[in-house]
Each structure stands twice: as C-alpha cells, then as structure tokens.
Amino acid sequence: MKKKILLLFIIIFVLVALVLVIALKKSGNRQPMKPGHTISASGLVSRAREKEATGDLAEAKNIYQKVIEEHPNSSSVMNWQKKVDELGLKILFSPAITPGSILYEIKPGDTLTKIAREHNTTVELIMKSNGLSSEKINPGKKIKVWTSPFSIVVYKSQNILLLKTNDEVIKTYVVATGKNNSTPAGTFKITTKLPNPTWFKTGAVVPAGSPANVLGTRWLGINLSGYGMHGTTEPQSLGKQVTQGCVRMFNTDVEELYTLVPVGTEVTILD
C-alpha cells in the first residue's frame, strides 16, 4: 500500500514538473516587463524588420519611428530615418489601402486624368500604386487612389525639403536654396509641372537634356514668377545656399516629388 502511495506521489510530481517546463517554454523564459522598461534599440529594429518581412509596412514604419523617439542620441538615427522614409514611400506606391487612400471602382467614361483631378492626386501616382503600365482602364476594375493632400515645407537654413500629409512627414529631401537668402519665404502653391523643362536663360534657350540645362529633369513652378523646385546638373551643390533663388534637388528626388504632388499643392518656405 505504501509503495502504491509513493508511486502516486512520484507520478504527480513528474506531471507537475512537465507542466512547468511547458509553461516556461511558451513564455520563452522571459520575466514580466517592469513598468517604465524601454526595449533596446536592437530589439525594436529586429521587430521592425520582422514586420517588414511579413509585409506589414505600416507597423514596421511605426516601430522605426518609435526607436528614433526612444533612442534619439544613437549614431544610427539617420539610418532609421532613411528606413522611415523608404517605408513611407513603399506604402504610398503599394496597392494596399491605408489611411489617406480609398478603393475606387472605375466607372464608364472615367479616365485616369479625370479620377486624379477629382481626388486631388496625380495620374503618375495612381499608375505606380496600381502597377499600371498604361493609362488604359476598364469600368468595374477597382484601384487604389490616394486622397490625402500633400504639402511641402522648405527650411532654407537647413537646406531640407519635407513632404508631408496630414502633418505626417513622408520624406525628407536634401536641397540647395538661394545664395544671399534669395529664395523667397512665404506660402505658395504649385502652379506648373513640366517634365524635361527647357531653360530660358537671359540671351539663350537651353534645351532639355543639355549638360548646360541647370533645371535637370523636372520643374515644379510656384505662383511667384520664375521660382520653383527643379532638378540639377550639379548634384554636388545640394545642401548649400548657391542657387539664384529656386529650390534645387537631385533629379531622382524631383522626379519622385513630381509623381506625388499635383498642381495646387501648398509650398511653405521658411527661413
């Protein structure tokens, strides 16, 4: 009888031990997080990479923003900011419906130009975010259309341009501004958009593609005659105050901006 009781105690002990082992494995042997505990930068970055790998770009972007906020003095802040910019653009250019966009069903008589005008966006952005290779569209098809307005803020003292939507910074661009503070400060609107612009300089007309054409590959003119944002043939000048008053950008950057912002976009230039 005593042997049977002893055997029963041993069995119960083994079962309890097994339950404890399984519980520890499930919890990963981690202790509960103490109040005020801050996750390490490497831990947050690892989590962001996992989210990006699974296609959850919005959450990955949020985590990178969190790591910047919690570790602002890290030497990796610039790299994390680049990831925030990169993910923000990936979200814009993806077919995923996110805050700021809608799923639009194409109606008979619609064109991309008509849809873009009605929703204050660009044909280029609609095409890029839906993987369209031409402007031909068919009624009944559903497409992503970005509806949240963009705005642009230029800081002359820092030579940076911020692309924003609803006060959220989508991307930060390095630019060149006017020497002797010649870039006008104020609030303006984009009034003209030109691909491969011709440069009408004093006494000469410089065609698009010419090495002497300082406007580069795109022109975004504002409602102040002669001023705007454009590309450059002198990328080494960016980050400095060297222009005649316009905002100068890398060609790839101004092409990206051209794709995103429609005519009418607000541009604020600050000292």
Instruction: Give the C-alpha separation, 214 to 75, whole Å.
Output: 35
pLDDT score for 30: 42
- Same domain (yes/no): 176, 211: yes
Within this chain, do residues 158 and 128 fall inside the same structural domain, yes or no? no
For position 193, what pLDDT does the model report? 98
| Cβ pair 85, 170 in contact under 8 A | yes
Active-site residue among 37, 71, 119, 246?
246
The yes-or-no verdict on residue 244 having pLDDT over 80 is yes
Higher pLDDT, 19 or 135: 135
**Element holding 150 (H helix, E strand):** strand 150-155
Which of 126, 146, 166 is the last residue in one of the domains? 146
Active site residue 230: yes
Helix (H, G, I), strand (E, B) or coil at 194: strand
pLDDT at 91 exceeding the cut of 70: yes
Distance CA(68)–CA(111), nearest Å, equals 42
Mean pLDDT of 53-65: 92
> Is there a domain that residue 37 lies in?
no
Whether residue 71 lies in the annotated active site: no
Q: How confident is the model at residue 93 (pLDDT cuts 50, 70, 90)?
A: very high
In the prediction, which pLDDT does 202 show?
Answer: 81
Mean pLDDT for the stretch of residues 182-199: 97
Residue 22 has pLDDT above 80, yes or no: no
DSSP helix/strand/coil, 93: helix
- Please state, as a whole number, how many other Cβ atoms lie within 10 Å of the Cβ of residue 106: 16
Give a yes or no: residue 140 inside a domain: yes
Q: What gap in Å lies between CA 19 and CA 14, rounded to an integer?
A: 9
Residue 228 lies in a domain: yes
Number of domains in the chain: 3
Mean pLDDT within 88-109:
95
Q: What pLDDT was estimated at residue 39?
A: 81
Same domain as 263, residue 172: yes
CB 170 within 8 A of CB 163: yes
Model confidence pLDDT, tens digit, residues 217-234: 999 999 999 999 999 999
What's the pLDDT band for 104 if we cut at 50, 70, 90?
very high
Q: H/E element holding 20?
A: helix 2-27
* 164 occurs within a structural domain: yes
Does the residue 266 lie in any domain? yes
pLDDT confidence of residue 31: 43
Domain containing residue 73: 45-93
Return the percentage of the chain with pLDDT > 70, whole number.
Answer: 86
User: Are residues 263 and 155 part of one domain?
Assistant: yes
Q: pTM for this structure?
A: 0.81
- What pLDDT score does 259 carry? 97
> Does residue 77 register a pLDDT over 80?
yes
User: Contact at 8 Å (CB) between 171 and 163?
Assistant: yes
Q: Tell me the pLDDT tens digit for each residue of 129-141.
A: 999 999 999 999 9
Lowest mean per-residue pLDDT among 25-29, 75-79, 90-94? 25-29
Q: Which two tokens stand for residue 171?
A: 């991307």
